Amino acid sequence: MLIALCDYARQHNRSSDTVRRLAESGMLTTAQKIGRNWVVDSNEAYPSKKKVAKRPITVVSLFSGCGGMDLGLIGGFDFLGKHYSKTGFKIIWANEINPAACKTYRDNFGNYIVEGDISEKINTIPASADIVVGGFPCQDISINGKMLGVNGKRSSLYTYIVEAVKRVHPKVFIAENKLNESVFRAMLVKMGISQTEMQHDLENLSEGQKKKILLGKSISENAHIYIWDEPLNYIDIQTREQIENMILEYMPTLLFIEHDEMFCEKVSNKPAIILEN
């Protein structure tokens, strides 16, 4: 039996406008227009939306080792009593030069890891991926290493992450490198982070504590210049003084934006004031 669209809409607890659009788009197979009005067979089932399968987020991984960083990206594991669910990321290509690490990777992830020197395997990299990730060797730039800089034999390998980004054109790239933990912890102590707080998950800390950790991490890294955007956000007066003392003690080359005039006067030696218009 043919009924009006408004009656069909009430029958299926839908709005008349929604049902009309279904009729106009042809999703109601029995719908027809008589004069200016739409009618539809009362027995026609309401069309269900087809679920569109989500496309996985594809990842290209360089200097993959045995896959620790890749595991963190794709999820699906338990650590310290907490389960980390699958994320929807999919590693489509990985590279590592160490045969033992490659064997471990294959045993735990799959055979898509390409074993060999990145300089020889870079041409096998996929033409596209959503993310490029890599933890390039750090011996030449670590303060515990030979300090040869980015031109050293090992740390110059970062250029292959740059090359991968040029070839793959990812939406995001992640370049991981090591942090001197003892220096980092010392910085946190100077900013009032206790040893107990250092054991907590970052997500359970206050915004002020998170900001201290980010600043401590930044200043612990070996760099020619540090760039900070409003470092005193969420920071109390006592911590502000601790940050001031830390900057004055280590004297890093620092470019920062901050609205606190007293802080700027104390730690900067060349202020720049930007006026609107």
Instruction: Show which residues are catalytic.
Output: 138
Rounded to the nearest angstrom, the gap between the alpha carbon of residue 250 and the centroid of all alpha carbons in its chain is: 30
* Cα R_g (the chain), whole angstroms: 29
Is 94 exposed, middle or buried (CB count within 10 Å of its CB: 0-12, 13-18, 19+)? buried
> In DSSP terms, which residues pair with 34 in a beta bridge?
37
Region for residue 149 given its phi and psi (left: phi exceeds 0; alpha: psi -120 to 50; beta: otherwise) = left
3-state secondary structure of 89: strand
Contact 167, 127 (CB under 8 A): yes
